[in-house]
Chain A
Amino acid sequence: MKTRALHGATLAWTCEDGAPDLVADLGLAAGIGEEDGRGRIEIVLRRGSDAESADPALAGYRPSFFHGIVQAYHEPEGAPPGFLLWDRRSRFLVPAGATRIEGFLSAEELVPGSARASLEIALSLVLRSVGLFHLHAAALVRPTHGDTVLVVGGAGAGKTTTTITLASAGYVFLGDDALLLEETAAGPNLCAFPRPFHVGPAALSAFPRLAPLVGPPKRQGDKRDLDPSQAFPGQFLARGPAPRLVLHPRIEADRPTALAPLSKAEALGNLIASSGGLVIDEVPGKTEHLALLTRVTNGARHFDLRLGRDMLADPSILPALVEAMLAQSTAKQ
């Protein structure tokens, strides 16, 4: 059984019957962060049978939520509680109250990467039990002052464009799409969850040096994978403090790039919308999760970031705006 650290937890996994190492595919083969007492999370991956392709609903499993092609179910009536994740070929079982995942993997996928995505969702459910809460967001840290900038928004909002622009200006990054939130005695922390950046054609046109580093276009959409360790060597950070500034980007190409203050209610609403696990029925830690998001909201200034085409022509616009806001925050302290 392989073991690696994952922000305080010990991830222990095994691949049986020639099952692929999806944990390594998640980017966790080298581990990330320290082992500091969150306990052990076990993952067993093995080959499944043709029966895994059958809709679990036929066996009485109750639909819970879905993410892309991955459908989640609750246990059938009377069975021990837990989640079942199904990508129409492979299944993952996550028993309630246990820090264990069991995967039954098919040799084929209807959508490439769907089994890995299922495992990531299963892992995010288990991580809640050990105090790590998934957040769909990007985060960077200004190296000169150590200020964290969180970037919150749905798919296509401009998180990656913002991340690449600030990383190109020297900021270190935790990720462009997925983070974990933890509470500590000193306040909330952001923890990195390794993933390739997903870069669209507009960002590539603004940063042509990245073009040779990206992978082929995805089957769906026009985004390409970019290994951030190649694109920005030495700029990765595994863990950062709570943000002082939260950007809520949206693309409005024909208007100039600008920041506008956002109320904390709107900001918390966006954070909730980027925290899918918070609204899933029967998941642990909802109160702690919402309290954590509230502390992050109260501890930062929030701005609507309107991203215009002008920023792609002159990427220095965005770091200048962010620097000005961080300087204002410093002056007010």
Chain B
Amino acid sequence: MTEPRLPRPNPQVLFTELDDGTAVLLHLDTKFYFTLNPTAVIVWKSLAEPLAGPGAIAERITTLFRVDQETAARDVDSVLREMLADGLVLPA
């Protein structure tokens, strides 16, 4: 089965990673900012890489954090849906 394609970062969004592993996205069009926890940071950074899809990001999260594949997949799906709703990413 083919994985759904990943959305792409909105070029109007500035990403700032901080040294405690969190990050902030600043949307220059809407002027809203969004805080990212370390898991969401992995999701965002993965969007810039040629990963196969959400499953590959979830796989990466399971190797970095103490979380099972099912939970990681659910989290990745949730983060991507929120990012799409807020215009932080654009549909593939």
A interface residues, Cβ below 8 angstroms from B: 263-266, 268-269, 272-273, 278-279, 281, 286, 290, 294, 297-298
Residue on B nearest A279 in the bound complex, by CB: B31
Q: Is B22's CB within 8 Å of the partner chain A? A: yes
Q: Is B47's CB within 8 Å of the partner chain A? A: no
The list of the 5 closest CB pairs from A to B, nearest first, reads A265-B22, A265-B35, A264-B18, A279-B31, A264-B20
Residue on B nearest A65 in the bound complex, by CB: B31
User: Which residues from B are CB-within-8-Å of A266?
Assistant: 22, 35
B22 near A264: Cβ-Cβ < 8 Å: yes
User: Which residues from A are CB-within-8-Å of B20?
Assistant: 263-265
User: Which residues from B are CB-within-8-Å of A281?
Assistant: 28
Q: Which of A265, A278, A294, A298 is in CB contact (< 8 Å) with B36?
A: A265
User: Which residues from A are CB-within-8-Å of B26?
Assistant: 272, 278-279, 290
How far, in angstroms, from A272 to B31 measured CA to CA in the complex?
10
* Chain A binding surface SS class: helix
How far, in angstroms, from A124 to B83 measured CA to CA in the complex?
33
Q: Which of A278, A286, A297 is in CB contact (< 8 Å) with B18?
A: A297
Q: Mark B20-31, 1 if CB is under 8 A from A, else 0.
A: 101110101001
How far, in angstroms, from A279 to B14 measured CA to CA in the complex?
11
Closest beta carbon of chain A to B15's beta carbon, Å:
10
B18 near A279: Cβ-Cβ < 8 Å: no
Residue on B nearest A263 in the bound complex, by CB: B22
How far, in angstroms, from A263 to B23 measured CA to CA in the complex?
9
Q: Is B49's CB within 8 Å of the partner chain A? A: no
A265 near B31: Cβ-Cβ < 8 Å: no
B33 near A269: Cβ-Cβ < 8 Å: yes
Closest beta carbon of chain A to B19's beta carbon, Å:
5
User: Which residues from A are CB-within-8-Å of B10?
Assistant: none
The answer to whether residues A265 and B23 also contact, given A290-B14, A294-B16 and a CB cut-off of 8 A, is yes
